[in-house]
Structure 1
């Protein structure tokens, strides 16, 4: 176990570390009925007509065999690296999931509307319960980096490994269709569905069909399974991940609707992960049951024999994968800043060229406004904020200074006179929840024009009355480029009313192409500066400094 100081222990290793999975009964009943129907149908068929015929797959007779067979070296290497990256994606994904351990098929994320939750807790109704309060502990034996509320580091590993997963997958698919190997996993006749059902009938009634030698071919059910995992689950995992990007969804709202909405995409993303795990369990079980040594020689050595070398090397490969988890754990807790910078060196330039160029254009209606919006962040405890709030913030003055030609101090009334704008947008939290609300306030473009930034001003810092997770004034930064985008507001109103204290009064930032932690609440002052490196620990915000979040979270 990592040795935490008191502040970090309270966050990462809380006294309540219980784990429980609750699934909506209607979902469980539906799944149970579907499985039961498939099993009952199989038994009825056997009782009425006997075991169906399963066509034989060519066995070991290379002289008479025509078609792709064996496992070329590129297949074997892709198999190993896919396993390596996929397991790390699953482990880091579990840590991400536990930061908001609820999954929904609606975009408002109202407590009680989830279809599954990985927490024993229901949201209390007698006090403020923030999204951070709802985060749960996960053992580092299961997740990377594990513990509670480690989503910053978990996202680092997730995005590092997704690059490897995509590169491996693209290379595999290119090689698959550039050779005859595609014929092994891509069905070419609808008869494969009937043959797959016949194979299922054998398994469901506890009869093992004649197992083909995988070196030369698969039975129909195996072929469909490989086809689904490689050519459906892989692309689906990637495409649903993209559907959780605020930059993409707020520029192309139709994209998330392909999956039923942003939260449906998140649920499908999780179900895809579960499907990968289920496939892995069945895959390994059949490998063991149908000749472990021979099967290991197939995928490790590329040979079809009964020797033990493939098995030994296979265990070594599995050991390397497990060792990578240990290394990742150590790096997560002993070199987190280097990890943060390593990811930034790769993703930051890519996002500047791609996602960050997308201009938010989403349009939601009044009917889309969420009935519930998760609160988050630490409410201000400063006496000056409390005094201002008691007076309805009539005496509040927003100070805007730094590298500007015209420093100003503006009341809320002064800001309103600059010309307000309203839009209904979806809020995306790094923890995974979302919500739709109407925001009203002054476009940042107008405030920028009012103060006339100096040429050397490239970044704008927003300072809050509130504190960060581990104390210290909450702050974050934005580039001038992003602040000039449409729908970027200094919001003073929410859903047609004055901005509530819980959600950021007197002012909060809205930047619709990024995640929520960049949208500072309870804003006290604004300062134009040359670089984010001049503030705090130089990472761009208190979450970036202390929790290793991204400087530019377009996804």
Structure 2
């Protein structure tokens, strides 16, 4: 307990240290550790997660910072109550040292009740008006990300020695008879169809794709579920494919269709901006860790766009289409997850 209970005139040493820590230590650590988990930032500024050891270390620190905030709040509120609630609430809300007036207390209770009500409102909107929330989120966060971290270009950093000994498997394997027959024949009969708003639509076998060139990158995969893994991916640079088919100048979106199905049925697909497909390390991969891409990881082809989260890396690709906008495909939100589960169009943070 403070020797002088009236903190309106003087904060004691522990108060000053705790406030300093919250403002100048916890806040920046929370921001930096949070940014260290962004694929767009991590793949451009590889040194940032190293401040915490690695990306998973940054996740742990981020969580510990949250616990530190909670501990501060509990102690702070307890001290406000124990040293004179009415007087302290006047200090906090109306900047007066009045031990009798309840004005500050009423204002504080009003703020607390408003915060609780807003929480219930946010919950109701999330469940009852998810599409409206998706539009709002896209207008705010989507626009912010598009004009900031989405502009970062990935840089190669990892070496063969960094490849993870185990790489998690997720996603629902294709069940279509077409894919099963192709897989049974090692995809020798597979033809990738590339069309849409292009001057030169093509159909290419795996061998024909391989003749166009091989790019090999060792990168970190960032899953939306929280795990990460490092692997080598080899395949055709999407830039080379774009140069081959020559999209019209109005094209902004590239659609990747999968042999797999969405969680709620229907063909699984996702989109990327043309700009992201032109970034370094963006490839159509037929190789993983210097071997043919295994079926469970997306054979015959999967896309790698390294400034995005893993769910945007469509597996089991069967067709690619170039469009003027993502609004012309599916329900118009840019992907199967975006259509049915209200995901973000961009997934770089």
Q: TM-score range by the shorter chain?
A: over 0.9
1:281 aligned to which of 67, 74, 82:
74
The one of 53, 69, 73 equivalent to 1:260 is 53
TM-score by length of 2: 0.97
Number of residues of Structure 1 aligned to a counterpart in Structure 2: 348
1:294 paired residue number: 87
State the alpha-carbon separation in 2 of the partners of residues 211 and 290 from structure 1.
Answer: 10
Instruction: Give the C-alpha shift of residue 319 in structure 1.
Output: 0.4
Select 1:427's aligned residue among 213, 221, 231: 221
Residue 357 of structure 1 pairs with residue 151 of structure 2:
yes
Residue 230 of structure 1, CA deviation = 1.2
Shift of 1:256: 1.5
State which of 316, 321, 325 in structure 2 corresponds to 1:531.
325
- Whether contact under 8 Å (1:424, 1:438) holds in the other structure is yes
Give the stretch that moved more between structures: 340-349 or 281-290: 340-349
Give the deviation of 1:289 after TM superposition: 1.3
Instruction: Report the alpha carbon displacement of residue 267 of structure 1 after superposing the two structures with TM.
Output: 1.2
In the TM superposition, what is the alpha-carbon distance from 1:523 to its structure 2 partner?
A: 0.4
CA distance in 2, matches of 1:225, 1:479: 45
- What SS does structure 2 have at the residue aligned with 1:482? helix
CA distance in 1, matches of 2:321, 2:97: 68
Q: Select which of 113, 122, 132 maps to 1:328.
A: 122
**Structure 1, unaligned stretches of length 5 or more?**
1-207
> Of 237, 242, 257, which aligns to 1:443?
237
Question: How much does 1:362 deviate?
Answer: 2.8
Q: What's the Cα RMSD here?
A: 1.3
Contact 2:5 2:83 survives alignment (8 Å) = no
1:396 correspondence with 2:190: yes
Determine if contact 2:2/2:12 at 8 Å carries over to the other structure: no
**Distance in 2 (alpha carbons) for counterparts of 1:231 and 1:469:** 44
Residues of 1 paired with 2:80 and 2:144: CA distance? 40
Aligned to 2:335: 541
TM-aligned CA deviation for residue 211 of structure 1: 4.2
**2:275 is the counterpart of 1:500:** no
User: With structure 1 as the length reference, what TM-score do the two structures score?
Assistant: 0.61
Q: Which has the larger radius of gyration?
A: 1
The gaps in structure 2 that reach 5 residues or longer are: none
Matches of 1:472 and 1:383, distance apart in 2: 15
Distance in 1 of aligned mates of 2:139 and 2:274: 21
Match of 1:221 in 2: 14
Q: Per-residue deviation at 1:513?
A: 0.9
Helix, strand or coil at the partner of 1:422:
strand
Change (3 A) 1:446 1:317: same
Please state if 1:489 is matched with 2:280.
Answer: no
- Contact 1:359 1:486 (C-alpha < 8 Å) held by counterparts: yes
Which structure 2 residues correspond to residues 77-156 of structure 1 after superposition, within 5 A?
none
2:133 is paired with a residue whose SS is helix
**Hey, what does 1:519 align to over in structure 2?**
313
Deviations 1:488-516, CA, capped at 9 Å, x for gaps: 00000101111111111110000011111
Give 1:209 deviation, angstroms: 4.9
Measured against aligned partners, the alpha-carbon deviations of 1:344-376 in whole angstroms (never above 9, x if no partner) come to 112333323221221110310111111122212
Q: Give the whole-Å Cα distance in 2 for the aligned partners of 1:279 and 1:397.
A: 60
**Alignment partner of 1:212 is 2:212:** no
Q: How many angstroms apart in 1 are the aligned matches of 2:250 and 2:83?
A: 69
State the 1:212 CA deviation.
Answer: 3.4
Partner-residue secondary structure (3-state), 2:73 = helix
Q: Once the 2 structures are TM-superposed, how far is the Cα of residue 239 of structure 1 from its aligned partner?
A: 1.3
Matched, 1:413 2:207: yes
Contact preservation (8 Å) 2:283, 2:304: yes
Residue matched to 1:32:
none
